[in-house]
């Protein structure tokens, strides 16, 4: 009997997208939390999903609806026609949290399939596969979670067709407090509340802040970064979807956070700090504020980390 083929496991990190003024075009990868996907070759063509765990039974199991299998199918159809893989998905990230959960599953699958079939595909192709899966899960194929999830660090996406990814410098002392209150916000709902039109003066301010943010990262100037992480377009429209958000943010700013805003579509709230201890203090403040608002959840403190990667030994 043929020996079973080895499983290849990939880890893909949580991401914080938008980062204030960078709606749909800027995001970062965190170090520690994320999703895992195992992949192995099979003789039959196409994708099979053998197991999903850690999602409380909430994610779709259908191959054309689960983001891990959608990304894997996209890759096979374009880059390995006639070949097949089996997948197992372990969710480490909460669903509908604003931590790029759907994107992390897609990215872990893309990386695991690429390695299991020894395709050696470039990052842009893996991002395209995961972006396609985001489109299925959230209604729009936004790249600002999956790009940093694959590439790691802080990534700007200046163009989609063709896809361009720009890695920005990561200041050494940048720490994040990330708290996910106990309410979930579907990305599609959080996008439905956004204004269809924005006054020109607001877009000018937002463009200036995004420019300042890029400058601050190049300078490694965390105070300037804090000034830049402000969003007067998307955040005000979404604040009411997150009970206690405005109070939590005010408490963080009062306590000396460099900045505080909504991670992606929310409800996860992030606060920036220039050292770990301050980030831990900000996490406590977020915890207290959301508990007070009746939506206690959970949080963690983290730095910016690398992108999705294989975590089992390579085949050769």
Binding site for ligand HSE (CB under 6 A): 17-18, 23-24, 100, 142, 144-145, 187, 190-191, 264-265
User: Which of 123, 204, 111 shows the shortest CA–CA distance to 167?
Assistant: 123
CB of 216 to ligand HSE, least distance (A): 20
- How much is the CA Rg of the chain, to the nearest whole Å? 19
- Would strands 298-303 and 8-18 be described as parallel, antiparallel, or unpaired? unpaired
> Rounded to whole angstroms, how far apart are CA atoms 30 and 181?
18
> Rounded to whole angstroms, how far apart are CA atoms 174 and 16?
13
CB of 233 to ligand HSE, least distance (A): 11
- Write down the residue that tokens 């192995």 correspond to: 40
CB of 208 to ligand HSE, least distance (A): 20
- Write down the residue that tokens 């909430």 correspond to: 58
- Decide whether 86 or 134 has the Cβ nearer to ligand HSE: 134
CB of 142 to ligand HSE, least distance (A): 5
> Rounded to whole angstroms, how far apart are CA atoms 169 and 174?
11
CB of 86 to ligand HSE, least distance (A): 28
* Nearest-CB residue for ligand HSE: 264
- Decide whether 79 or 191 has the Cβ nearer to ligand HSE: 191
- Decide whether 24 or 77 has the Cβ nearer to ligand HSE: 24
- Decide whether 39 or 265 has the Cβ nearer to ligand HSE: 265
- Decide whether 148 or 264 has the Cβ nearer to ligand HSE: 264
> Rounded to whole angstroms, how far apart are CA atoms 58 and 155?
30
Q: What letter would DSSP give residue 232?
A: S
CB of 238 to ligand HSE, least distance (A): 8
291, two tokens? 């508990």
Q: How far is CA 311 from the centre of its chain?
A: 19
Which residues 6+ apart lie within 8 Å of 8 measured at CB?
A: 38, 39, 40, 112, 115, 116, 310, 312, 315
CB of 146 to ligand HSE, least distance (A): 9
> Rounded to whole angstroms, how far apart are CA atoms 154 and 250?
25
b/e 5-23 (16+ beta carbons within 10 angstroms → b): eeebbbbbbbbbbbbbbbb
CB of 23 to ligand HSE, least distance (A): 6
- Decide whether 69 or 101 has the Cβ nearer to ligand HSE: 101
Count of CB atoms within 10 A of residue 79's CB?
16
User: Which of 235, 258, 262 shows the shortest CA–CA distance to 97?
Assistant: 262
- Decide whether 207 or 277 has the Cβ nearer to ligand HSE: 207
- Decide whether 237 or 246 has the Cβ nearer to ligand HSE: 237
């Amino acid at each position: 009997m043929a020996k079973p083929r080895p499983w290849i496991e990939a880890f893909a990190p949580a991401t914080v997208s938008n980062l204030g003024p960078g709606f749909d075009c800027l995001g970062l990868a965190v170090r520690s939390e994320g999703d895992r996907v195992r992949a192995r070759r099979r003789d039959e063509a196409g994708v099979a999903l053998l197991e999903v765990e850690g999602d409380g039974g909430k994610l779709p199991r259908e191959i054309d609806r689960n983001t891990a299998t959608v990304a894997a199918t996209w890759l096979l159809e374009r880059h390995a026609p006639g070949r097949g893989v089996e997948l197992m998905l372990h969710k480490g990230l909460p669903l509908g949290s604003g931590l790029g959960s759907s994107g992390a599953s897609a990215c872990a699958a893309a990386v695991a399939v690429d390695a299991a079939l020894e395709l050696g595909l470039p990052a842009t192709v893996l991002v395209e596969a995961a972006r396609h899966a985001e489109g299925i899960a959230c209604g729009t194929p936004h790249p600002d979670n999956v790009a940093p999830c694959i590439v790691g660090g802080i990534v700007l996406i200046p163009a989609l067709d063709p896809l361009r990814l720009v890695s920005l410098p990561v200041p050494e002392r940048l720490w994040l407090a990330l708290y996910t209150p106990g309410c979930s916000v579907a990305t599609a709902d959080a996008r439905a509340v956004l204004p269809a039109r924005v006054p020109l003066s607001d877009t000018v301010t937002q463009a200036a802040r995004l420019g300042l943010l890029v400058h601050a990262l190049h300078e490694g100037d965390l105070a300037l970064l804090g000034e830049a992480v402000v969003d007067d377009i998307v955040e005000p429209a979404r604040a009411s979807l997150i009970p206690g958000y405005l109070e939590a943010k005010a408490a963080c700013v009062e306590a000396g956070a460099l900045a505080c805003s909504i991670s992606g579509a929310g409800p996860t709230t992030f606060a920036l700090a220039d050292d770990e201890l301050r980030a831990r203090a900000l996490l406590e403040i977020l915890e207290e504020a959301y508990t007070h608002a009746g939506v206690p959840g959970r949080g963690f403190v983290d730095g910016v980390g690398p992108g999705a990667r294989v975590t089992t030994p390579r085949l050769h």
